[in-house]
Chain A
C-alpha cells in the first residue's frame, strides 16, 4: 500500500496534447502509470502516445473509468479544468499548473470539500508511489520503493531530499508535493494523517518553507495524533522579510511565516529539523531506533539521549554511510 495513488489509480491527463502534457504522459507511461485517457477540447477521437483523447472529462471518465486526473493546462484554464474534473466524478485531482489565482482557489477548495474530492496542488510536482504509480513531473529514476513517506511544499528540493534518501538506501512509500501556492488543496496534515494510517510507511519527512503556518499546524497534529517518527527540513532560513521567494506562498509577512518559528514548533513536538538536506537520512535512522514518540521527544529535548542512539545507529540496517552521517550530525547537535 501507499497513500493516494497506487496500482488502482487510473489517470486522465487534462491538457494531454500540450507540450508539457504530452511529454509527461510519455514519462508516466514509461514508469508504468495506468493512463486511461486524455482530454483536450476539440481533439476528441485522436490519440496521444497510444492514449485515447476525449473532448471532455465527462466523456473520458464515462468511457474509461478514470478515477484520477492530472492537470497540465495553462493557468488561465486550470481552475475550470479542476471544476470539470470534480464534476466528472474523479476522486483525486493533481494540478501541476503554476500561476493559478488565489481567490479562485478559495472557491475551488470549498466546492471540492463539499464533493469529497481531493486536490493536490496547484503549483506542485505531483505524487509518486515508487513502483506503483507516478502522477506528476518528478524524475522517476531518483525514487526507490520503501517505507519513508515524503511530503513537501517544493519541487526540486523534494528531489534533492529523495535523492539523499535513495542514496542512503532508504526507499519511499509515497512522495507528495503539496504545492508552493498560498491556497492549496491538500495540507501537510492531510498527508500526515494518511501516512500515519498507511501500514507501509514507517517514518515521514516533512519539507516546509517560509510563509503561512502550515508547518506549525502540522506540529500540533503530530503532537496529538502521530506515533510514527517525523523528520523535518525548512527552507528559507536566510530569506528576507516581505519578499516573495519564487513560490506565491513563500513570503514572510511582518513577523509571521519565519523559518525559525516553524523549526521551533516542530522541535517542540519531538520532530528534529535537519540543518542541511544531507542530514535527513541520519536523523531518520536515529529516530527509528527510538520506538515511542515520548522517547523521541525526550531524545530531542536533552542531547544526552541521541548519544545512545549514536551507538545504535552504527548497527542500523541502513548501512555504514548513513550511520556515519548520523554520528556526525548527532555530534554536531551535541556541540550546540
Chain B
C-alpha cells in the first residue's frame, strides 16, 4: 500500500527523523493561513501516489501567503498522470546546501533489507544506478541481528566527510531502518536528505510503501489508506476479497489463481484480442464472489464478453457455476459469457450450467478463441 508524503513524514516524526515543519490541507484558504503562521516562504506540494510531481508542476515555491493561495488553488485543480490532486502539503521552504539519498528496500534475492545511500540525491535513484552505479553504496542487513551502529556509520561515511554530518546521517539511517522493520514497509526512502545552511540534516521528501500482508497488525497504518486515490473498482474488488487490475481491452476475464489469470490475459493477447482486466477470484469461490466479480467486469462499458477460466483445485467448479447462474439472474449482463471449467466437481458444474442453457468447454485455448469470435 502506498501512502502520501505527509503521512510518511508523520511516521518519520514518530521515529525522530528530522523533517521540515509542514501541514496538509485541501483548501487554498487554509494554505494561505499556514503560510501566514510560518512567516516564511513555503513550498506547496501535491499529495498524489505517483513519482515526478516536480516535473509535472505539482511542487511550487511561494514567497508569501498570497502566492501560497494561488499555488494551492492551481495544484489542487491539477491531475498528475491521471490522478486528481486532492490534498497539498504546505511546508517550510529551506535552503539546500547538499542533497543525498537514503533508502531501505527488501531484496528478494539475498532475503535481506538492503540499505542504499548515495551522495547523488534529489534524482531518481534507478537513474543513478544505471548511469553512475559507483555513486551508490548498498548494504544488506542481517535481518536477525539488525543494523549495528558501525554499519550505519560506514554507510554515512560514504556520503559525507564532515563527521558532524556523518553522526547525524548514521542516526537517521538507523531510524529509517527501524521505520522499515517496525512498520513492515517494503520501501522506506528519503530523497533528498538535505544539509541546511546551519549544518542540519533534514528529510525533505519521504516515501514509504507498506506490505499489504502485514497491515492486519498495523490498524493505525491501514487507516492511512486514501480511498479517493485508489481505483474504485480495485477497492470494490478488495472488499469482495478479489484481486482486480483494470486494463484497456474488451475481453473481461474472471479466473481462479493469479498465475492462471495472467496466463489467460496473455492468451487473449496471443490470439489477437485485448484483455479488459486481471481478475483472480481466489481460492474459495463462493457464489457471492462470482457475483461481485461480474458486477465489476460488467461495469466497464468497453467489455464485450465475459470469459471464465476456472481450474478447480480448492476452488470447486460447481460453486463457480452456481455463482454464474445467480449473477446472470441478478445482473442480467448485456454481454455474452463463455466458460471453461476443469477440475473439482466439473461434472456437477456442467449440469448446473446446462439447466439454464449454458455450455462450458474444458480447454483454456478454446474458451479464449470462442470469446474472441463472439466479441467480434
Contacts and interface: CB of A to CB of B under 8 A. Distances in A.
A152 B263 CA distance: 13
B278 A76 contact: no
Interface in A98-132: 98-107, 109-111, 125
Contacts of B256: 156
A154 B247 contact: no
Which secondary structure dominates where chain B touches chain A? mixed
A209 B313 contact: no
B316 to A, nearest CB: 11
A111 B255 CA distance: 36
Nearest to A159: B311
B175 interface: no
Interface string B326-368: 0000000000000000111000000000000000000011000
Nearest to B187: A253
B266 A238 contact: yes
Interface stretch (B30-38, B156-164, B198-206, B267-275): B267-275
Contacts of B216: 75-76, 99
A255 B247 CA distance: 19
B265 to A, nearest CB: 5
Interface stretch (B63-71, B85-93, B104-112, B165-173): B104-112
Interface in B197-231: 211-214, 216-217
Interface residues of A, number: 63
B258 A75 contact: no
Contact of B214 (A102, A125, A209, A217): A102
A138 B344 CA distance: 10
B259 A75 contact: no
B261 A213 contact: no
A261 interface: no
Contact of A110 (B143, B261, B314): B143
Contact of A183 (B106, B180, B311): B106
A155 interface: yes
A103 to B, nearest CB: 5
Q: How large is the interface on B (under 10, 10 to 19, 20 to 34, 35 or more residues)?
A: 35 or more
A290 B255 CA distance: 37
A245 B266 CA distance: 13
B184 interface: yes
Among B108, B113, B212, B258, chain A packs the most CB atoms within 10 A around the CB of B258
A268 interface: no
B151 interface: no
Given A155-B313, A238-B266, A213 B109 contact: yes
Nearest to B258: A246
B13 interface: no
A249 B108 CA distance: 9
A191 to B, nearest CB: 16
A158 interface: yes
A331 interface: no
B260 interface: yes
Nearest to A254: B126
A243 interface: yes
Contacts of A207: 259
Contacts of A249: 108
A160 B261 contact: no
B269 A238 contact: yes
A240 B276 CA distance: 12
Interface string A166-184: 0000000000000011110
24 contacts: A102-B106, A103-B143, A103-B211, A106-B106, A106-B113, A110-B111, A139-B312, A155-B313, A157-B259, A159-B260, A160-B263, A183-B106, A209-B259, A209-B262, A213-B108, A214-B109, A235-B262, A235-B266, A239-B262, A239-B278, A244-B212, A246-B257, A248-B212, A248-B213
Given A180-B258, A213-B108, 5 more contacts: A102-B213, A139-B343, A139-B344, A163-B311, A213-B109
Interface of B: 106, 108-109, 111-113, 126, 142-144, 180-181, 184-186, 211-214, 216-217, 243, 245, 247, 255-263, 265-270, 275, 278, 280, 283, 311-315, 342-344, 364-365
